[in-house]
Structure 1
Amino acid sequence: MDLSAMMPIIYLRGLLLLLLSFSTLYSTRALKVYLLDTLNATSELNWRTYSNQDEKDGWLEETMYSRSENKNHQVYSTCNYESTHDAENWLLIPFVERGEAQRFYLHFNFTIVRCAAVEALRTSGCKETLKLYAAQFNESEEKEFVKRKNWFNETKWDYVDTLASHSTTDTANNNQNKNEVEREGSLEGEGNIQKDHQQQQSNNNQQQTYTQTSSYDVKKRYVHFALRNTGACSSILSVKIYYNVCPEYFSSLLHLPRTVSSRDPHGVVSVQGQCTSNSSPVATIISQQQQNSKNLQKLEKLVRRQFPALQPPTAICKADGSWQLVGSSTECVCDQGFVVSKINGMCTGGEEIFLIF
């Protein structure tokens, strides 16, 4: 038998199973690597704070009970709506080590009371936003930073984002989450202004929970984040810091390695896949041209000229940690003499199966 005449058939065997395998690529679950999650804290957070007001009116740590999770967790709250001058309340999040991450994502669950919603808050000092800042350090710089008394100096920070009560991120959950968190108690020494406001807020059912995700490009080994409150009545219910990873992926014929997502929040990382054992890349152009080609020898020469060194398919790791197969001139199929096993989906020796279209 003329082997050149069998070339298109060899290239096409297993193609149908290959396409079925690739269809699962789009549903591969993204991997989030968490570096901080306050909901998992088993003791008080004891984060550093600064206030230019009476210290009892700055950020205060409290224990709250979550009905949805049936457990206590730590939160930080502050309210300076009666301040006669601009309030400066800073909350320092402990350093996070970069590791392999290119970009950090910060997910906040928080409350900010609308100034117009409560009569006592209708003052010039009432705000409805929080500012998020970041500072990066190498090891020696971080050790010096934690010793500074004026760590809150704004000129040393990069502005990252604004957390606002009108955040549209996950707004569908605002009403659902409104009553999921109840106060268990407050720390000793909490200011009367804050207590009175919280009682009035509860009575008027004005509190809503918002969620927002911000991101920050990391280059140095350590990163500190800080929240700046200049007059908002707010609570930070939870903070999560993580980075995205496209997990290692195996199909019956294609392997993609674990890949950290791009530094660019809208960017992608191109990854060359590998054909699994007993399979090789072949040109997809054959399946397209076979229908119109009457001379298989010419077709074989055309493929060799256009694809002198065939490479496995390429996939992209998206910023959210999901894989997507890009348009490719090649696909992985079982080598000659091997077929896709119905047991494990791998290419194994056995009777040859030809798929002719």
Structure 2
Amino acid sequence: MHWVEESYINFEKGINWRSYVVCDVTKQNVNNWVWTPFIERGLANLIYIEVKFTIRDCSLFPGYALSCKETFSLLYYEFDVATREPPPWEPDSYKSVGRIAAGEGRFNANNEVVINTETKAVKVTKKGVYFAFRDQGACISIMAVKLILKIKTIYSNFMHGIAAAYMDIPTKLLFGLCLQVYYIVCPEVVINFANFSATPTARELTQIEHATGKCVDNAEVVGGGPPTYLCKGDGKWYLPSGGCKCKAGFEADIEAQTCIKFCRLF
């Protein structure tokens, strides 16, 4: 058995998800792979991947489970070009994100399903990335994958297949999963009559990005240097420094942060 696409329905919770399932516990030397499509990182420096999954307890397979495990591997492969060929499957080509276990619990009865949620962070530097799920003998269902490239949705609602750009990617990829991609930025803002563009957060939550502002129309820099603002890892601005002022002949609109032509009444 390899990864198989199935439906998971829970009427009480209003869930109707497509999932990827594998359960090769009766075989030895199991090595099952499934991939996401190529995910362009855009401006992001850091990607969070959130996986919803279930794992069956090995006690459900007494006597005939040859390789039953209760974990699976999450890996990634960075690449500068999206191709129609699948990414390599050799483990040495990938970087490990981690070994994923059922931290919220395994289920050990057919009517007791425990859905686990695991979130990992990955630094990215190339144009995009493939994520891979590697099974080596567990009984797993991957319910949903959310990729957060640290506010703005790039791809969403893939319940009925991958968007047109990915339709030619082989079917071993994760078609049908609810795959959402975001990246988090400090949003565009105007403060002290300086405009700061949307700025991607750094590769570490504890790091900050220094952004340089540009004076609004009809304004000029105050002091010796350009205005600056710090972008924190949670997507919030703090500690503005410097700023701009309206040029001669223009009046400051503090609320709108604009400089308007000063008009005499006589």
Q: How do 1:222-233 residues align onto structure 2 when only pairs under 5 Å count?
A: 222-233=128-139
1:247 and 2:155 equivalent?
no
SS at 2:69's partner residue? coil
Q: Residues 81-113 of structure 1, C-alpha deviation per residue, up to 9 Å, x if partnerless?
A: 344x34222112222234443333322111224
Q: Partner of 2:251 in structure 1?
A: 338
Q: Residues 236-282 of structure 1, C-alpha deviation per residue, up to 9 Å, x if partnerless?
A: 11012242233222347332102233344543221012343455554
Q: How do 1:167-246 residues align onto structure 2 when only pairs under 5 Å count?
A: 201-203=109-111, 205=112, 207-244=113-150, 245-246=185-186
Which residue of 61, 65, 71 corresponds with 1:120? 61
Q: Partner of 2:3 in structure 1?
A: 59
- Say whether the 8 Å CA contact 1:252–1:276 is kept in structure 2: no
The structural deviation recorded for 1:208 is: 1.8
- Say whether the 8 Å CA contact 2:81–2:128 is kept in structure 1: yes
The one-letter amino acid of 2:72's match is L
Supply the distance in 1 between the matched residues of 2:257 and 2:12 (Cα, whole angstroms).
41
Q: Partner of 1:111 in structure 2?
A: 54
Aligned length: 227
Q: Partner of 2:212 in structure 1?
A: 272
Question: Which has more strand, going by share of residues?
Answer: 2
Residues 324 and 155 of structure 1, relative CA distance in 2, 3 Å threshold: same
SS at 2:61's partner residue? helix
1:260 and 2:173 equivalent?
no
1:78 and 2:4 equivalent?
no
Q: Residues 37-73 of structure 1, C-alpha deviation per residue, up to 9 Å, x if partnerless?
A: xxxxxxxxxxxxxxxxxx2xx3211122365885633
Q: Which TM-score applies when normalising by structure 2? A: 0.68
Supply the distance in 2 between the matched residues of 1:341 and 1:327 (Cα, whole angstroms).
16
Q: Which TM-score applies when normalising by structure 1? A: 0.52
- Say whether the 8 Å CA contact 2:192–2:243 is kept in structure 1: no
Unaligned runs of 5+ in 1: 1-54, 179-197, 283-306, 352-357
Q: Could you say what the CA RMSD is over the residues aligned between the two structures, in angstroms?
A: 3.6
Supply the distance in 2 between the matched residues of 1:327 and 1:276 (Cα, whole angstroms).
16
Residues 139 and 340 of structure 1, relative CA distance in 2, 3 Å threshold: closer
Supply the distance in 1 between the matched residues of 2:210 and 2:12 (Cα, whole angstroms).
40
SS at 2:138's partner residue? coil
Question: Which has more helix, going by share of residues?
Answer: 1
Which residue of 75, 80, 84 corresponds with 1:133? 75
The structural deviation recorded for 1:134 is: 1.5
Supply the distance in 1 between the matched residues of 2:34 and 2:245 (Cα, whole angstroms).
56
Q: Partner of 1:311 in structure 2?
A: 226
Q: Residues 266-312 of structure 1, C-alpha deviation per residue, up to 9 Å, x if partnerless?
A: 43221012343455554xxxxxxxxxxxxxxxxxxxxxxxx5x2432
- Say whether the 8 Å CA contact 2:251–2:260 is kept in structure 1: yes
Structure number with greater Rg is 1
Residues 339 and 154 of structure 1, relative CA distance in 2, 3 Å threshold: closer
Q: Partner of 1:153 in structure 2?
A: 90
The one-letter amino acid of 1:201's match is A
SS at 1:262's partner residue? coil
The one-letter amino acid of 1:92's match is W
The one-letter amino acid of 2:236's match is W
Supply the distance in 1 between the matched residues of 2:90 and 2:245 (Cα, whole angstroms).
60
- Say whether the 8 Å CA contact 2:72–2:136 is kept in structure 1: yes
Unaligned runs of 5+ in 2: 151-184
Which residue of 209, 213, 236 corresponds with 1:323? 236
Supply the distance in 1 between the matched residues of 2:147 and 2:26 (Cα, whole angstroms).
33
The one-letter amino acid of 1:255's match is N
Q: How do 1:35-54 residues align onto structure 2 when only pairs under 5 Å count?
A: none
Supply the distance in 2 between the matched residues of 1:121 and 1:89 (Cα, whole angstroms).
22
- Say whether the 8 Å CA contact 2:41–2:149 is kept in structure 1: no
1:91 and 2:91 equivalent?
no
